[in-house]
Amino acid sequence: MTRIFTLIALFTIAFSVSFCSDDDEPTTKYLTLNISGLENLGTDYVYEGWIIVGGNPISTGRFSVNDSGNLSQTSFTIDIEDLDAASTFVLTIEPEVGDNPAPSKVHILAGDFSGNSGQLSIGHGAALANNFSTANGKYILATPTNGADNDENSGVWFLDLSSGAPAVGLSLPTLPEGWKYEGWVVTSGTPVTSGKFTSVDAVDEFDGFSSTMDGPPFPGEDYLVNAPSGLTFPVDLSGGKAVISIEPDPDNSPNPFLLKPLVGDIPANAVDHTTYDLGQNLNFPTGTVSR
């Protein structure tokens, strides 16, 4: 009798295994992000992750970042076949409302999977494609738009005057679509734009603080009129900072973005029409993606 019950039990187990449904197999798995150095994008924009599968992007989900740099979500449920087949992870910046289902052109981080993880950086070819290690720059203080010898420490121009004639002052890599450079000065603790640009040997996109005369064919600005709230123009820029940032296009904020490859302290005793150096500031976001 014991043998009969044993045979029945074995038959039952075998029957159950033979006819077990594929539904018991997992269909999803987690993608996990560990990223530092991102900033709060405000209320109008969010970050969105993408995996590249067979050359096509698949969204992994959206998240925000608070003022402390913490991600609102770090783990995302993804179709297991898609995630296992993914070659690359890309992080973009997207509009909060009215977003296109395809990725925007603003790719900030990317990395290839090697096994079940990947290193993320701005230098990946699917992000900004450069680590900016060769970036360098120079600037002078001068106010060419109101004539000679007037408030000369109230303007910044990203050019090189060391040879006696104005020359290109910035050496910067060409940015991919979705990004622009922007010049800034920081005076009394307040960052003020000098204008966005994509070419280092042409005028930039802004002259709202300058006077009526033409400036040189380089990025820069005179801070003479139309001062923002809290500031008074003309303003002596001595003791402040000169900055080149990399900005999303479209831009998420009127303030400098977190990518600032070049920064220079303007001397407290700065002399106009003297060439000063910008230093590298390569503190960029980085991280890993795991599956």
pLDDT of residue 100: 83
Contact 23, 36 (CB under 8 A): no
pLDDT of residue 137: 98
pLDDT of residue 98: 83
Structure tokens at 74: 């770090």
Residue type at 221 in one-letter notation: E
What letters, b where the CB count within 10 A reaches 16 and e where it falls short, cover 47-86? bbbbbbbeeebbbbbbbbbeeeeebeeeebebeeebbeeb
> What averages of pLDDT result for each successive group of 10 residues across the chain (291 residues)?
40 36 79 98 97 98 98 98 98 91 97 98 98 98 94 98 97 98 98 98 98 97 97 98 98 97 98 98 98 98
Dihedral Cα 25, 114, 125, 61, nearest 10 deg: 30
pLDDT of residue 46: 97
